[in-house]
């Protein structure tokens, strides 16, 4: 199928874009990279009356380090983030997670703001944002507000964004020296949406005991989920194989509204959740130094 008719605006500045969105509300959809929205238009799952192309907003395409926080503009292409030296140095898990996002052709156009605003429950970037406790900066024509990742993702393709708001940037706390991190997922083919995935971030002491743990799941619930039971089973304990396995098993407790579709049933996703958590934790332990 081809997309239905829609009106089109191509603002040259953020203020202009916000003014247009403010005037049209829910009838308008912003277009970032289009890698999720355009297929929805083609399949006519989405039928906005107006598309607001953000492609000229170069002010939103940037990566910068700001006092211990890595700030990435919403229109920054995923491929750029994957290769960026600041990202690889300060938030390397972001670069690694992007390897699982679609394929290079998708990432050449897809943006970080678009991925977060789209909030696909099987997507990697929302889970990374949740694990790292990122802050999402949004604006409308009245002003800006900061939404912590834990308050941003509400359900399938549903975020805390209002109709007239745009994500303008994401702020990631940089990883402390010695932090271990890992990401693992199970998908039918490389680049497919995850049937189950986990992001793990660990810090440990000289004696090997865990001082901080963040585990976020994707692909198994209606939104990315923090596996708090797993995290609690790790902090203060030695990061041995048995401890990791025990913590991984507890991750299923986090799945309150399970995801199920033709690609994977509820029971399958539940069964493989501890596997991906364990793999992500093992990778994180390998990378962690005191």
Partner 1 sequence: MQLVAISLTVNGQPVTAEVEPRMTLADFLRDQLGLTGTKLGCEHGICGSCTVLWGGEAVRSCLALAVQADGATITTIEGLAADSTLHPVQQAFWEEHALQCGFCTPGMVLTAVALLQENPEPSEAEIREALSGNLCRCTGYQNIVRAVRVAAERMRSGRGS
Site stretch for partner 1 (CB under 8 A), options 50-58, 121-129, 221-229, 255-263: 50-58
Distance CA 281, CA 252 (A): 15
Q: Does 39 bind partner 1 (CB under 8 A)?
A: yes
Query: By C-beta, is 23 or 154 nearer to partner 1?
Result: 23
> What is the three-class DSSP state of 262?
coil
Pick the binder of partner 1 from 22, 27, 65, 108 (CB under 8 A). Answer: 108
121 closest CA partner among 185, 53, 211: 185
Overall size of the chain counted in residues: 290
Pick the binder of partner 1 from 11, 30, 34, 121 (CB under 8 A). Answer: 34
127 by Cβ neighbours in 10 Å (0-12 / 13-18 / 19+) ranks as buried
Q: Does 46 bind partner 1 (CB under 8 A)?
A: no
CB of 125 to partner 1, least distance (A): 17
Pick the binder of partner 1 from 51, 138, 175, 272 (CB under 8 A). Answer: 51
Scanning residues 79 to 98, which ones bind partner 1 (CB under 8 A)? 79
Q: What is the C-alpha end-to-end distance of the chain, expressed in Å?
A: 55
For 243-256, give the DSSP string.
Answer: HHHHHHHGGGGG-S
Residues in touch with partner 1 (CB under 8 A) = 1-8, 10, 31, 34-35, 38-39, 41-43, 51, 53, 55, 79, 102-106, 108-109, 189-191
């Amino acid at each position: 199928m081809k997309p239905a008719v829609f009106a089109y605006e191509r603002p040259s500045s953020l203020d202009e874009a916000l003014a247009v969105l403010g005037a049209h509300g829910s009838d308008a959809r912003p277009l970032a990279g289009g890698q999720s929205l355009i297929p929805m238009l083609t399949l006519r799952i989405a039928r906005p009356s107006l598309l607001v192309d953000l492609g000229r907003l170069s002010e939103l395409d940037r990566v910068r380090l700001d006092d211990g926080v890595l700030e990435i503009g919403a229109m920054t292409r995923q491929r750029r983030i994957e290769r960026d030296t600041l990202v690889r140095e300060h938030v390397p898990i972001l670069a690694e997670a992007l390897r699982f996002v679609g394929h290079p052709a998708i990432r050449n156009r897809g943006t970080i703001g678009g991925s977060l605003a789209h909030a696909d429950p099987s997507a990697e970037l929302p889970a990374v944002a949740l694990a790292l406790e990122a802050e999402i900066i949004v604006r409308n024509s009245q002003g800006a507000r900061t939404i912590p990742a834990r308050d941003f993702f509400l359900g399938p393709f549903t975020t805390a964004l209002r109709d007239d708001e745009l994500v303008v940037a994401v702020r990631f706390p940089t990883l402390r020296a010695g932090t271990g991190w890992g990401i693992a997922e199970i998908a039918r083919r490389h680049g497919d949406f995850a049937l189950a995935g986990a992001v793990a971030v660990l810090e440990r002491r000289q004696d090997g005991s865990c001082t901080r743990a963040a585990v976020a799941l994707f692909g198994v619930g209606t939104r990315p989920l923090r596996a708090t039971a797993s995290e609690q089973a790790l902090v203060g304990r030695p990061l041995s194989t048995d401890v990791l396995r025990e913590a991984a098993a507890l991750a299923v407790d986090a799945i309150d509204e399970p995801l199920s579709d033709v690609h994977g049933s509820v029971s399958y996703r539940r069964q493989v959740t501890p596997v991906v958590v364990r793999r992500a934790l093992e990778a994180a332990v390998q990378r962690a130094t005191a």
